[in-house]
């Protein structure tokens, strides 16, 4: 049975219409007057066809063939270059890009739904446009007018690609340790020299330019993170019209041998007296890079969601086809979808995917509000929501996405362990999403050390208040199980929030961080289930109503009770984690 994929456009439309109230929230914003959920559905249907027809067929073959390196040049797997050109020609790279620079200026909610489908169909491929968009957003926000004029239009459309070069072998999470140097030439440019590792899309054979955003130190730079600046370093030198005038000192020194995403060339990159230009202020490189990193963190969270969606779809298909044991009428062999534990494994994934998609759409709308709303305070409040949810989406969606891929593989039994079935690739591919763009532990630390306490905790209080407002008395179908469970989870989250706000020692926050983020996500998705279930009762057809209420009830019975266990672990404080002397581990 080949891997199949049905773009979940119906679910997306339902979420836009009835869960996040897209038309009221977004179409009212300046620049969004012409968009609607209906238009979104048309657009996403086209995008979904592209993903299913052009990207999915390259996913397994790309995994087996991988990217290769010879003479400092990367060759991508068969079909990837053509698919990338088709993607750009279809306009998919420019969807949410700046209209001033060739972008289509469409809302973020459409963008992340496109991102989800690309990630379902081909995670390795998706990193090419994903990093390109992140680079263009960082350049748009922090670059000089001159740099933007020269590089931004082709980055925005995807004609040129982007890459981000942060990590060095000894400097991962702790970027303050990095050693790459940038020396001013005197004409406004710099010579950049150093070696970076784990550079996704660092090189490829698409025949275009690659714009590397490279963190490096100026000669007189302060030690640590305050001495880091950001540089734009193109693979190819070009004139003002974008014509190639020569090569730059940029080469792929090696490809990493990875557990997954084999078709994605993850490079060791050498910058050898490479010409570059400063983006933003000297010493403010991390600040500029964080624009790109925040964009990428959301993107990576969506990758987790995307892999989960396609893994669940194929588990469902297999469970309908595979005959083992007896069905409800006692005869057999019957499809294994009849077996309770097979259902349970699938429901673990399904009950995550749907509210995750809704929460992602809600976050994306907050991004549009933050970017476009005329009122300062409204923009600031939206910005704060996005700041809080960025680490949650990144870490929780990728942890649960990985778990979903593992459960979906388990539905296949022994066949799931074999390459040909395609399920084990989802597990290997999904695994990187928990690691890159800041490990999920780093995301959790971001949440507890910065987001929970920012502005005296007011944005967190506002977010929790918004959830609470939706958990008031509901229909009897929701009061039976979902609403009480969602309220209990919110109460756990409130107690845990008070605990991490009360003891801000690094050990207390570090001990609580991952459990707190998980609790935050479980409660937030419980909130989304309440919205989705209520919307289904009000607006859904019979099938939607039956489906969403059943999924919500599963979530209420099997997932929301975990909130109490997480609250208990957080309440235990730092001692259980810190007491053991390091030499006795």
386 binds its own copies (CB under 8 A): no
- Pairing of the two strands 68-70 and 73-75: antiparallel
**Active-site residue (options: 437, 468, 477, 479):** 437
Buried b (16+ CB within 10 A) or exposed e, 543-565: ebbebbbebbbbbbeebbeebee
Instruction: Give 466's contacts (C-beta < 8 A, 6+ positions apart).
Output: none
Binders of its own copies among 497-526, rule CB under 8 A? Answer: 506-507, 509-511, 513-515
108-121 and 37-50 are packed helices; what angle lies between their axes, rounded to 10 degrees?
Answer: 20
Q: How many CB atoms lie within 10 A of CB 28?
A: 12
Q: Which two tokens stand for residue 164?
A: 């981000």
For residue 70, list its beta bridge partners: 73
Cβ atoms of 361 and 16 within 8 Å: the answer is yes
73: helix, coil or strand? strand
Binders of its own copies among 462-481, rule CB under 8 A? Answer: 481
Residue 427 to residue 136: CA distance in whole angstroms: 30
413 binds its own copies (CB under 8 A): yes
- Residue 272 Cβ, how far from its own copies at the closest point, in Å? 23
310 binds its own copies (CB under 8 A): no
Binders of its own copies among 555-574, rule CB under 8 A? Answer: 556-558, 561-565, 568-569, 572, 574
227 binds its own copies (CB under 8 A): no
Going by C-alpha positions, the residue among 262, 176, 161, 264 that lies closest to residue 213 is 161
Residue 570 to residue 513: CA distance in whole angstroms: 8
Q: Which two tokens stand for residue 345?
A: 């494994």
Question: Near its own copies by CB under 8 A, which window of 257-265, 276-284, 365-373, 526-534?
Answer: 257-265
Query: DSSP string spanning 364-416?
Result: HHHHHHHHH-S-HHHHHHHHHHHHHHHHHHHHHHHHHHHHHHHHHHHHTGGGG
Is the bond preceding residue 333 a cis peptide, omega within 30 degrees?
yes
Neighbouring C-alpha atoms within 13 Å toward the C-beta of 115: 32
Question: Near its own copies by CB under 8 A, which window of 21-29, 104-112, 332-340, 360-368?
Answer: 332-340
Question: Near its own copies by CB under 8 A, which window of 3-11, 91-99, 225-233, 250-258?
Answer: 250-258
- Residue 233 Cβ, how far from its own copies at the closest point, in Å? 21
Q: Which two tokens stand for residue 41?
A: 């559905």
167 binds its own copies (CB under 8 A): yes
- Residue 4 Cβ, how far from its own copies at the closest point, in Å? 14
User: Which phi and psi angles does 171 have, rounded to 5°?
Assistant: -130, 95
Going by C-alpha positions, the residue among 494, 553, 544 that lies closest to residue 526 is 553
How many residues touch its own copies under the rule CB under 8 A: the total is 98
Instruction: Please identify which residue in 16, 127, 444, 530 interacts with its own copies, judged by CB under 8 A.
Output: 444
- Residue 455 Cβ, how far from its own copies at the closest point, in Å? 25
Site map (CB under 8 A) of its own copies, residues 85-124, x = contact: ----------------------------------------
Cβ atoms of 398 and 301 within 8 Å: the answer is yes
Cβ atoms of 157 and 311 within 8 Å: the answer is no
Binders of its own copies among 194-223, rule CB under 8 A? Answer: 197-198
108-121 and 123-142 are packed helices; what angle lies between their axes, rounded to 10 degrees?
Answer: 150
177 binds its own copies (CB under 8 A): yes
Binders of its own copies among 421-440, rule CB under 8 A? Answer: 424, 427-428, 431-432, 434-436, 439-440
Instruction: Kindly tell me which of 456 and 581 has the beta carbon lying closer to its own copies.
Output: 581
Instruction: Please identify which residue in 192, 250, 345, 386 interacts with its own copies, judged by CB under 8 A.
Output: 345
User: Which phi and psi angles does 345 have, rounded to 5°?
Assistant: -60, -40
155 binds its own copies (CB under 8 A): no
486 binds its own copies (CB under 8 A): no
Binders of its own copies among 21-40, rule CB under 8 A? Answer: none
- Residue 207 Cβ, how far from its own copies at the closest point, in Å? 29
Instruction: Please identify which residue in 215, 445, 486, 499 interacts with its own copies, judged by CB under 8 A.
Output: 445
Instruction: Kindly tell me which of 454 and 572 has the beta carbon lying closer to its own copies.
Output: 572
- Residue 82 Cβ, how far from its own copies at the closest point, in Å? 27
Question: Near its own copies by CB under 8 A, which window of 73-81, 95-103, 109-117, 405-413?
Answer: 405-413
235 binds its own copies (CB under 8 A): no
- Residue 491 Cβ, how far from its own copies at the closest point, in Å? 15
- Residue 174 Cβ, how far from its own copies at the closest point, in Å? 4
Question: Near its own copies by CB under 8 A, which window of 71-79, 130-138, 380-388, 414-422?
Answer: 414-422
- Report the Cα–Cα distance between both ends of the chain, in Å, rounded: 46
Is the bond preceding residue 198 a cis peptide, omega within 30 degrees?
no
Instruction: Kindly tell me which of 326 and 466 has the beta carbon lying closer to its own copies.
Output: 326
Q: How many residues does the chain have?
A: 585
Q: Is 89 a catalytic residue?
A: no
- Residue 185 Cβ, how far from its own copies at the closest point, in Å? 32
Residue 33 to residue 114: CA distance in whole angstroms: 20
Instruction: Give 199's contacts (C-beta < 8 A, 6+ positions apart).
Output: 163, 164, 165, 167, 212, 266, 267, 268, 269
- Residue 75 Cβ, how far from its own copies at the closest point, in Å? 20
Instruction: Kindly tell me which of 354 and 368 has the beta carbon lying closer to its own copies.
Output: 354
Query: Rounded to 10 degrees, what is the CA torsion of 337, 339, 340, 346?
Result: -30
Distance of CA 227 to the CA centre of its chain: 29
Query: DSSP string spanning 318-330?
Result: HHHH-B-S--TTS
- Residue 384 Cβ, how far from its own copies at the closest point, in Å? 24
Residue 402 to residue 428: CA distance in whole angstroms: 9
Instruction: Please identify which residue in 173, 247, 450, 479 interacts with its own copies, judged by CB under 8 A.
Output: 173
Instruction: Please identify which residue in 24, 219, 245, 257 interacts with its own copies, judged by CB under 8 A.
Output: 257
325 binds its own copies (CB under 8 A): yes
417 binds its own copies (CB under 8 A): yes
Instruction: Kindly tell me which of 297 and 431 has the beta carbon lying closer to its own copies.
Output: 431
47 binds its own copies (CB under 8 A): no
Instruction: Give me the active site residues, please.
Output: 437
């Amino acid at each position: 049975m080949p891997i199949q994929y049905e773009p979940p456009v119906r679910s997306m439309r339902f979420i836009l219409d009835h869960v996040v109230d897209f038309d009221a929230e977004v179409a009212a914003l300046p620049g969004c007057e012409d968009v609607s959920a209906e238009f979104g559905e048309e657009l996403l249907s086209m995008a979904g066809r592209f993903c299913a027809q052009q990207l999915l067929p390259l996913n397994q073959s790309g995994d087996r063939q991988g990217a290769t390196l010879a003479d400092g040049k990367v060759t991508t797997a068969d079909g990837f270059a053509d698919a990338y050109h088709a993607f750009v020609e279809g306009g998919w790279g420019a969807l949410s890009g700046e209209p001033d620079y060739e972008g289509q200026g469409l809302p973020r909610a459409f963008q992340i739904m496109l991102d989800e489908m690309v990630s379902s169909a081909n995670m390795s491929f998706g990193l090419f446009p994903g990093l390109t968009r992140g680079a263009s957003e960082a350049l748009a926000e922090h670059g000089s007018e001159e740099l933007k004029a020269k590089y931004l239009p082709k980055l925005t459309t995807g004609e040129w690609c982007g890459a981000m070069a942060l990590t060095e072998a000894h400097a991962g999470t702790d970027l303050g340790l990095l050693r790459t140097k940038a020396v001013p030439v005197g004409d406004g440019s710099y010579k950049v020299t150093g070696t970076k590792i784990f550079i996704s899309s660092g090189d490829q054979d698409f025949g275009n330019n690659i714009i590397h955003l490279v963190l490096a130190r100026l000669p007189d730079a302060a030690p640590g993170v305050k001495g880091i600046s950001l540089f734009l370093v193109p693979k190819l030198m070009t004139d003002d019209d974008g014509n190639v005038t020569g090569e730059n000192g940029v080469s792929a020194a090696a490809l990493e041998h990875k557990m997954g995403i084999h078709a994605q060339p993850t490079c060791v990159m050498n910058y050898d007296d490479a010409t570059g230009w400063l983006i933003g202020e000297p010493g403010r490189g991390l600040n500029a890079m964080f624009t790109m990193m925040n964009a990428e963190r959301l993107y990576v969270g969506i990758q987790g969601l995307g892999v989960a969606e396609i893994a669940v779809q194929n588990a469902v298909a297999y469970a309908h086809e595979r005959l083992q044991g007896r069905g409800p009428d006692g005869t057999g062999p019957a499809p294994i979808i009849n077996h309770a534990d097979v259902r349970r494994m699938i429901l673990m994934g399904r009950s995550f995917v749907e509210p995750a998609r809704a929460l992602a759409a809600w976050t994306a709308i907050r991004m549009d509000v933050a970017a476009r709303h005329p009122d300062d305070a409204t923009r600031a409040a939206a910005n704060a929501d996005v700041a809080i949810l960025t680490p949650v989406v990144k870490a929780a969606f990728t942890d649960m996405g990985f778990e979903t891929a593992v459960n979906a593989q388990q539905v296949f039994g022994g066949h799931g362990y074999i390459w040909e079935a395609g399920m084990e690739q989802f597990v290997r591919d999904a695994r990187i999403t928990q690691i890159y763009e800041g490990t999920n532990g780093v995301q959790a630390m971001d949440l507890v050390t910065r987001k929970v306490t920012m502005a005296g905790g007011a944005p967190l209080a506002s977010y929790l208040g918004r959830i609470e407002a939706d958990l008031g008395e509901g229909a009897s179908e929701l009061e039976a199980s979902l609403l009480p469970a969602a309220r209990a989870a919110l109460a756990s989250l409130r107690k845990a929030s008070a605990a991490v706000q009360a003891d801000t020692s690094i050990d207390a926050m570090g001990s609580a961080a991952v459990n707190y983020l998980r609790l935050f996500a479980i409660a937030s998705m419980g909130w989304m289930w309440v919205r989705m279930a209520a919307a289904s009762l009000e607006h859904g057809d019979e099938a939607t109503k039956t489906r969403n209420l059943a999924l919500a009830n599963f979530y209420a019975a099997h997932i929301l009770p975990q909130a109490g266990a997480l609250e208990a672990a957080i309440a235990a404080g730092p001692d259980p984690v810190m007491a053991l002397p390091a030499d006795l581990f």
